[in-house]
A = this chain, B = another copy of it.
């Protein structure tokens, strides 16, 4: 097999299996090539990935050696994406009665989800997260995309308790609108004592994410990170603490003047 053909195969395999250790022996066998050629191929791919800010290739040498593609997101790409999002989100047409902002359309676009997933995966890749947790409904696409780049399962907290979920743990909490709400998670969906990353679309005071953290305690899980697509400037102190990552910040919505101000999120503060 020619080098260029091998490179196509290796690049595809790495991109389709982020954050997974792929055996060099298996790869060499599958490509019917010597490990030395494979190493040279990987060196070329590594260089390009790093130049382009797509992420790192981590290789372990030796008989049991492997290679792992850790997706990343360059600061330039992230900044450009957030700037674009800020412009799109600040469209006054998005203002809904009550000062809410319509953004379901954005959270359904594959290119937005891919980029947001890359950014979260990049920000949380050193946390050792084993599961991505979200609450239905609007956070699910973001959680799925993040889980894809981290190559760990996504699980969904329900607002009701469905027969198709089996036995579940439920908790009550007070939502932002001061109503008592319920959330529940199927017992089967999360083993005990796991590291969990919380992802959601929007955070104001942080009541929902706080409730998710409380729910995690019932599973003896450790919350290793909190990521949201959009947080608000006010209140400054969130119920989950201020160690969260937001991609964008909703600074103000003026329903009367029809003005929205969206600025970059806490992602860029670290």
Q: Give residues of chain A (1-38) contacting chain B, Cβ–Cβ below 8 Å.
A: 2-5, 7-9, 11-12, 15-16
25 contacts across the A-B interface (CB closer than 8 A)? A3-B4, A5-B48, A7-B7, A7-B11, A8-B11, A8-B48, A11-B12, A12-B15, A96-B163, A96-B166, A100-B164, A102-B164, A102-B166, A104-B165, A104-B189, A105-B189, A108-B153, A108-B155, A110-B152, A110-B154, A114-B148, A136-B136, A136-B137, A137-B137, A140-B140
A153 and B105 contacting across the interface, CB-CB below 8 Å: yes
In the assembled complex, the Cα of A102 lies from the Cα of B189 at a distance in Å of: 10
Contacting residue for A8 out of B45, B109, B110, B113, CB 8 A: B45
A110 and B140 contacting across the interface, CB-CB below 8 Å: no
In the assembled complex, the Cα of A145 lies from the Cα of B117 at a distance in Å of: 13
10 cross-chain pairs, A with B, having the tightest CB-CB distances, nearest first: A8-B48, A11-B11, A108-B154, A140-B140, A108-B153, A110-B148, A136-B137, A141-B144, A144-B144, A7-B7
Residues of chain A having any CB pair with chain B under 8 Å: 2-5, 7-9, 11-12, 15-16, 41, 44-45, 47-49, 52, 54, 96-98, 100-105, 108-111, 113-114, 136-138, 140-141, 144-145, 147-148, 151-156, 158, 163-166, 186, 188-189
Residue numbers in B under 8 Å from A141 (CB-CB): 140, 144, 154
Residue numbers in B under 8 Å from A111 (CB-CB): 151
Copies of the polypeptide in the assembly: 2
Of A3, A9, A104, A114, most buried by chain B (CB within 10 Å of CB) is: A104
> DSSP majority for the A interface?
helix
Contacting residue for A163 out of B4, B41, B97, B147, CB 8 A: B97
In the assembled complex, the Cα of A224 lies from the Cα of B155 at a distance in Å of: 30
In the assembled complex, the Cα of A138 lies from the Cα of B144 at a distance in Å of: 12
Residue numbers in B under 8 Å from A164 (CB-CB): 96, 100-104, 138
